[in-house]
Structure 1
């Protein structure tokens, strides 16, 4: 039996841009928590650390699709470089501001400018799509990317906090910034695999990909998915503390990501014939159902088991969501379309973390898991309602308000 992962990496250039892209996207996980770790130590106040981190994360969620839209229009190499330079300089200024104890406004200004950081997961998936468009190998490539995303979140956040605590407060952010700079430089230098700029389809006005109903449906669904695992992670931290074992939180959360990582790799090796929109519905349904055991876990071992089970559907959800974007979005909007979906995940995580904190403070730690269940159900409703639109048809005809559905 052939190894599908060996096959996708047999194509010249794929190993190079994948390795470079892995380091270039480490800041996705390292920067938000690195800002908190850095400022909580240098300023001694968690509120300003959280506020600056949120400023960066939410602003990046809004700016990244616009940068990707420019990339679809002018190409990766012409846009990624300047955007990354702005982000790297802003991160460096943020580190210096924290180290020199400059006024708070410098922290927020730096975070706003650092939000110019491009969406590397979208760039990587665009390259895979350029190579394997219309081939079953594209599903394997997307599975690899989802597994790599999980690995980034497993390693990046832990590395950022570990460096800040063991070396000096700015260490995590320094490594994150250097990773962004050199990883992106190595990525952009590999021109042979860069996607060609696709002309806008004849008779179609140039507009944002978010106006396409399939993109709206998938992005909304992944807002709920992002909320599902953000609420699970925040509640896990609170619940392990309530159980008297706060140190177990990092281990339990790691188990969460590992379950998704393993299942994602397995799924990528399979050749499923089920239509992608149905695969997505199955994945979010499993996600909602596997959140239920979290409500029953009363000890750390049971919580770890429940968290592992609840994480198995995350990678399948992402793989099928990005596969649908590739099929339902015109080639001239692909990078932006992918970025909107990743933005939806980020927005969902921010919302979920905030709501989980409020529920835990007011109703007790384990009740935070009810939000994971509710978010999972909402994602099922969204995907089920959008089945007809996601099933096919010309994406150009599915433009407008969310209630529309293409037959």
Structure 2
């Protein structure tokens, strides 16, 4: 099934479009907070603390929002979450405008993160419900489409908010991000036709949640954590590599090439029907990631090193999004439907946590051993992903639905 055919499925475009718009807002939010707080306080340190509070709250509370969605339904959770998010952003903007102390700004930033509607997790759960039965083989294509939408959002969102803020309107950038998030979340919630049924009510909820402790799902959490670690490390290591060479602009070129390769990989993967089981595909993609990262450690002349790093950036960029798509596909297979939204939210939080920890480790490695130290951490993260995927083939066999 092609992407066009997928979006012609009754009800699909109606929830995909608002989710895509909301994702752009989410992609804008973190950077918009940096611009807003830096403009209000003159301090990058305070901006970093507030942004960190936002990210930590999103990672910790996101799965709990997913849990509430599974228990009470998307409409009953997303609409209040969107309202709280609007209030939280207003509180942050007003606090910044009136010169509130840093701890107040951090608290407001945490509330902004905690109230983010879990649009990606909710959309993935809708695809799972919509493509059940004979249309199940199209599910990897749907998850690839969601990954493509997310990648585009993180290309467009930061560029948009930076343009607005650089024009001297940081408040407008923050409010624009919030408007997209609130509108996208509300419109998604109002699409009742494709809303997944609530299967985890009352006492049965605890029974369904035990599926989150299955070895297969725990392995997927580990894979997402190491993938997030690879992301977080590469942003530090590649930047350090470019600065060491005295060519700061090289980092932008490498990141642009990486994003382009990743987008192309998702498009190609989603458009094809693959005959191998998803767990086998995951093992192959993870192996490609591990092997593709090895050129990052190339030694020799500066030209050889540059060629190695460039090759490593491109090869891993092709593998990473495929691994993430397969993670969602396999989560759908090994987790009960009654906790599927929470499961998707946990995968997102695992990626964020892995990225945060690895970025810190990579920063220390770069300080101690230069860019090569950071690249070594990236290779270790990629190798960990490979090891988990290869050793977890048995655990990733599809489970019986409860």
Structure showing the higher helix proportion among its residues: 2
- Measure how far apart 1:327 and its partner are: 0.9
Aligned to 1:356: 362
* Cα distance in 1, alignment partners of residues 306 and 205 from structure 2: 59
- Measure how far apart 1:260 and its partner are: 1.2
* Cα distance in 1, alignment partners of residues 94 and 204 from structure 2: 49
Aligned to 2:117: 118
Q: Tell me which of 389, 393, 405 is aligned to 2:395.
A: 389
Which structure 1 residue ranges, 5 or more long, are not aligned?
A: 397-407
- 1:338-349 equivalence runs, <5 A: 338-349=344-355
Which structure 2 residue ranges, 5 or more long, are not aligned?
A: none
Q: Tell me which of 20, 32, 35 is aligned to 1:34.
A: 32
In 1, are the aligned partners of 2:205 and 2:338 still within 8 Å (CA)?
no
- Please give the TM-score of this superposition, normalised by the length of structure 2: 0.91
- Measure how far apart 1:98 and its partner are: 2.1
In 1, are the aligned partners of 2:25 and 2:179 still within 8 Å (CA)?
no
- Measure how far apart 1:204 and its partner are: 6.5
Q: How many residues align?
A: 394
* Cα distance in 1, alignment partners of residues 311 and 178 from structure 2: 35
Is the partner of 2:267 in helix, strand or coil?
Answer: helix
Is the partner of 2:394 in helix, strand or coil?
Answer: helix
- Measure how far apart 1:210 and its partner are: 3.4
Q: Tell me which of 245, 249, 259 is aligned to 1:247.
A: 249
- Measure how far apart 1:141 and its partner are: 0.6
Aligned to 2:130: 131
* Cα distance in 1, alignment partners of residues 8 and 258 from structure 2: 31
In 1, are the aligned partners of 2:33 and 2:174 still within 8 Å (CA)?
yes
Is the partner of 1:136 in helix, strand or coil?
Answer: helix
- 1:3-402 equivalence runs, <5 A: 4-114=2-112, 115-134=114-133, 135-199=136-200, 205=207, 207=209, 210-296=212-298, 298=302, 302=307, 303-394=309-400
Bigger mean CA deviation after superposition, 203-212 or 101-110: 203-212
Q: Deviations over 1:98-153 (max 9, x none)?
A: 23321112111111211221221111111111111242111111111111111112
* Cα distance in 2, alignment partners of residues 155 and 305 from structure 1: 25
- Please give the TM-score of this superposition, normalised by the length of structure 1: 0.90
- Measure how far apart 1:206 and its partner are: 5.1
* Cα distance in 2, alignment partners of residues 82 and 103 from structure 1: 28
In 2, are the aligned partners of 1:20 and 1:187 still within 8 Å (CA)?
yes
